[in-house]
Amino acid sequence: MSLPRSSYYHAPKASDADKALAARIEEIAAGHEKYGYRRITAQLHREEIDVNHKKVSRIVREKGLQAKRTRRYVKTTDSNHPYPVYPNLIQHRPVTAMNQVWVADITYIRILTAFVYLAVILDLCSRKAIGYALSRNIDTALSLAALRMAIRNRNPPPGVIHHSDQGVQYAAHDYIDKLKQHKFQISMSRKGNPYDNAAAESFIKTLKAEEVYLWEYRTFDDVLKRIPYFIDEVYNQKRLHSSLGYRPPNEFETILEGVSGYGLPPENRS
């Protein structure tokens, strides 16, 4: 065909648009190391970048940007205590509005010579972290501090279901009395069944994979600086949740408020 030999080895150069797309994908992956190609595609669509998920998947593979694997979760629940436990009220229960169900859990964060403990409360509808607390001690004071923050932030109406595991931090009299004071319905997971509190477990896995495992905390102060930033500025404000239609919790709640104000305290409804 009278073609020069070099034609057989010619590889077309990537267009400027493809280079820009690959660069943006790398930026998203660097900021959210647990994002797979589906979440990256969703973020690109939010930025009005029209791209097929297959193309994103190919670039992710070529650049070695696959989501990092999560380390094994370590159980922190102590359910061997003399306090009463409560039945699971949220099993098979649909959640359609904010302040219907709150879920609570505790996890640990390793520092150089010890552990720091985080208690968190999420609104099950929006997955938003509405209360949290950090302490060197895993006790009822820790779980109470998170509960008080959630109550201040939400001013919950009577009847909200508070769901947790059967750990002593949630079953102790001081904690139960606080729930009853604010007229919560009390719900607990079945013993040894993490699926009963799946949303809280999912939050903890996200926190570990996208924040804790990426930093080498040396002191308690390091944790105090990073964890609130991740929860308030990244998780609640920016991180896309597949269960929310690939929206961050704050944005999802804004949409719910705009629709009807349903699930908010009366004084906060528009």
The pLDDT tens digits of the residues spanning 27-37 come to 787 777 667 77
The residues near 53 (Cβ < 8 Å, ≥ 6 apart) are 37, 38, 41
For 201-250, the pLDDT digits (tens) are 999 999 999 999 888 899 999 999 999 999 999 999 999 998 899 999 99
Instruction: Work out the average pLDDT over 110-131.
Output: 95
At 97 the pLDDT is 94
At a CB cut-off of 8 Å and minimum separation 6, what does 144 contact? 174, 175, 178
**pLDDT over 80 (residue 64):** no
pLDDT band at 254 (very low <50, low <70, confident <90, very high): very high
pLDDT of residue 128: 98
User: Averaged over 115-133, what is the pLDDT?
Assistant: 97
**Mean pLDDT, residues 249-270:** 68
pLDDT at 49: 83
Q: What is the pLDDT of residues 146-183, one digit of tens each?
A: 999 999 999 999 999 999 999 999 999 999 999 999 99
- Give per-residue pLDDT as tens, 173-213: 999 999 999 999 999 998 766 678 999 999 999 999 999 98
Rounded mean pLDDT of the chain? 84
CATH superfamily of 101-268: Ribonuclease H-like superfamily/Ribonuclease H (3.30.420.10)
CB atoms within 10 A of CB 100: 20
Residue 42 vs residue 235, higher pLDDT: 235
Residue 22: pLDDT band with limits 50, 70, 90: confident
Specify the pLDDT at position 268: 42
**Greatest mean pLDDT among 39-53, 70-84, 120-134:** 120-134
Give the contacts of 108 (CB within 8 A, at least 6 positions apart).
74, 76, 115, 116, 117, 118, 138
The band of 20, judged by pLDDT with boundaries at 50, 70 and 90, is: confident
Residue written as tokens 């650049």? 63
| For range 52-56, the mean pLDDT | 78
Largest CA distance in the chain: 90
